[in-house]
Amino acid sequence: MRAYLMFKEGAAGKPPLCADPDALMADLELRRILTQMSAGDDTVYDVCKDALLRPLQSVQAVEYRREVLKDALSNPDIVRRLYAICAAVDRVKGRFSPTARLAEPFKNALELLKTYLKMLRDLRAAVDNKLLNFKSEGFRKLVELLERELTDDHFNTVSDYLKEISNTDNILVSAKLGSHLHSVDYTLRRKEKGFWMRWLSAASFTADSERNPEEMADISNRQERAVSEASNILKWSALYLESFFNMLRNELAFFVGCLNLSEKIRGLGMPQCFPELLPPDSRERVWHGLYDVSLALTIDGPVVGNDLEVSGKNLYIITGANQGGKSTFLRSMGQAQLMAQSGMFVGAECFAAPVRRGLFTHFKREEDRNMQTGRLEEELSRMSAIVDKVARGSMVMLNESFSSTNEREGSEICRQVTKGLTDNGVEVFSVSHLYLYAASFLGDDTTQFLRAQRREDAARTFKILPGEPLETAYGEDLYRQIFTQAGRPLGDD
């Protein structure tokens, strides 16, 4: 049995992992989001991380998963109940020990099957009469599968078989005589109705464990040989059910993580919406109230959002005042793109964006004392790795790239890299304080200039608004903030 909650065509539809998942995790601060989604559950964390770092590659695939998520948001109690039932597999699996005596695996596998049978009953009970509450194709497939496969007749039949073989202290075994009068072909027999009457007059003997321990050991050995085949059948049946529960748990884990995050965002008073995903060749983008979800989770409160509607652009250059929210905006855009293409809601009032084949980040790195090369060489090396893997229809995010060298050299390197990417159909978001770099794209109809807002009193609003680059990043504002008190230089009497 397979569930089709994450992909319409099952695991065959799983997209490839992003080229540099570690960079995305660090640059977009995804760990904070995943920690909130997991709520301490390692399975939820791992599944949600995998989903975020494997963005779906088509509008249809996103819409399929998004409809399943909408069902989960409308039926959170049922989804959490289903997940809790499947997650119980961790508490019961592993009882079968390959090194144990044959009789022990038989009993262990038997108990596992009984436990799994109860879990299957719980799954069926959880979805009984719930079909009308689920509208998505994915959940309807799951409910119909459980109702079709887990019928009352099925449960009754399996329960009867398990009950019949449960009494391992009173079993019926047959065997044949082989060469040298050795017993062969030991077989576990069903105790059909009235079979005891046929054995009342049969030859028999009673073993005394105290007087003849050798006889008891011989009987025990014969019993183990008789149940060996049955033990293997029970074991593989238990392993099959275990894999089913693991599979369904992993499918449900993503939606449980989304429920956890959605409830937290709602509690913070921040908006969330299901985005509109456009075809890969589209150059339209819309965002209203777009914010950095990880920042909102960090400060545990509302944060500033940004708005824009634009068409015909494939390069976004963000400049402006230091500490004005440029990097935060860039993270919010990257988070929204990954969340949108994983079928999730995004942190915004409204969000529309093209599907991207891949997402790459090239953020400024802190000084590393163990670095074997210069910082500029390190930046060029990372960019070379991106260029080797990037494809038309991808999205590259640059944050203060090539700022480790002087203005003129850094601007020229960044200009050539950016133009090379955009000329080959790659969408670029670039935060930079390099004025020569930004100014080189003035007059380009495919470039959207954005600038961090700064009021006349030097206050930062953390709003990112349309605006051409200025020759200053207002570094003197930071100087006054750090080196003055009440408007007077430190140490000035």
- When pLDDT is averaged across residues 381-408 and rounded to a whole number, the result is 94
More confidently predicted of 475 and 361: 361
- Nearest C-alpha neighbor of 258 from the set 133, 73, 74: 73
Residue with tokens 């074997």: 372
d(CA 154, CA 145): 14
Length of the chain: 493
What pLDDT, on the 0 to 100 scale, is given for residue 101? 47
List for the chain the helix, strand, coil content (%; round to 5).
50, 15, 35
Token reading at 228: 């060996």
What pLDDT, on the 0 to 100 scale, is given for residue 478? 47
Residue 488 main-chain phi, psi, to 5 deg: -115, 145
d(CA 294, CA 76): 23
Q: What is the largest CA-CA distance in the chain?
A: 117
Q: Which helix (H) or strand (E) holds 466?
A: strand 460-466
What pLDDT, on the 0 to 100 scale, is given for residue 490? 46
Greatest mean pLDDT among 62-66, 159-163, 196-200, 227-231: 62-66
Cα dihedral: 115, 121, 126, 127 (round 10) = 140
What pLDDT, on the 0 to 100 scale, is given for residue 493? 39
d(CA 227, CA 445): 78
Cα angle, residue 345 at apex, residues 72 and 141 outer, rounded to 5°? 35
d(CA 335, CA 26): 12
Residue 71 identity: D
pLDDT digits (tens, 9 = 90+) for 454-474: 877 767 788 999 999 988 655
pLDDT digits (tens, 9 = 90+) for 220-266: 777 676 667 777 777 788 788 888 999 999 999 999 999 999 999 99
Q: Is 457 helix (H, G, I), strand (E, B) or coil?
A: coil
pLDDT of 95 strictly over 60: no
What pLDDT, on the 0 to 100 scale, is given for residue 109? 77
Residue 122 identity: D
pLDDT digits (tens, 9 = 90+) for 420-434: 999 999 999 999 999
Cα dihedral: 45, 48, 49, 51 (round 10) = 160
277: left (phi over 0), alpha (psi -120 to 50) or beta: beta
Token reading at 470: 């200025």
Residue 317 identity: I
Lowest-pLDDT range, 31-40, 202-211, 449-458? 202-211
Q: What is the mean pLDDT of the chain?
A: 85
What pLDDT, on the 0 to 100 scale, is given for residue 491? 44
Cα dihedral: 229, 231, 236, 238 (round 10) = 160
pLDDT of 97 strictly over 60: no
- Nearest C-alpha neighbor of 332 from the set 296, 302, 278, 290: 290
- Nearest C-alpha neighbor of 397 from the set 318, 310, 463: 318
pLDDT of 476 strictly over 60: no
Q: Is 398 helix (H, G, I), strand (E, B) or coil?
A: strand
Q: How far is CA 2 from the centre of its chain?
A: 18
Start-to-end C-alpha separation, the chain:
80
**410 contacts 311 by C-beta, under 8 angstroms:** no
- Nearest C-alpha neighbor of 184 from the set 226, 153, 155: 226
251-280 as b/e, with b when 16 or more CB fall inside 10 Å? bbbbbbbbbbbbebbeebebbbbbbebbeb
Beta bridge partners of 290: 306
pLDDT digits (tens, 9 = 90+) for 297-351: 999 999 999 999 999 999 999 999 888 899 999 999 999 999 999 999 999 999 9
d(CA 13, CA 4): 10
- Nearest C-alpha neighbor of 150 from the set 130, 121, 129: 121
d(CA 485, CA 488): 5
Query: Helix 59-74 crosses helix 76-87 at what angle (to 10 degrees)?
Result: 100
pLDDT of 370 strictly over 90: no
283-315 as b/e, with b when 16 or more CB fall inside 10 Å? eebbbbbbbbbbbbbeeeeebbbbebeeeebbb
Lowest-pLDDT range, 92-96, 121-125, 340-344? 92-96
316: left (phi over 0), alpha (psi -120 to 50) or beta: beta
pLDDT digits (tens, 9 = 90+) for 210-221: 667 776 677 777
Beta bridge partners of 277: 353
pLDDT digits (tens, 9 = 90+) for 134-181: 899 999 999 888 888 888 888 888 887 777 777 666 667 777 887 876
d(CA 446, CA 422): 9
User: β-pairing, 183-189 with 315-320?
Assistant: unpaired
d(CA 347, CA 288): 10
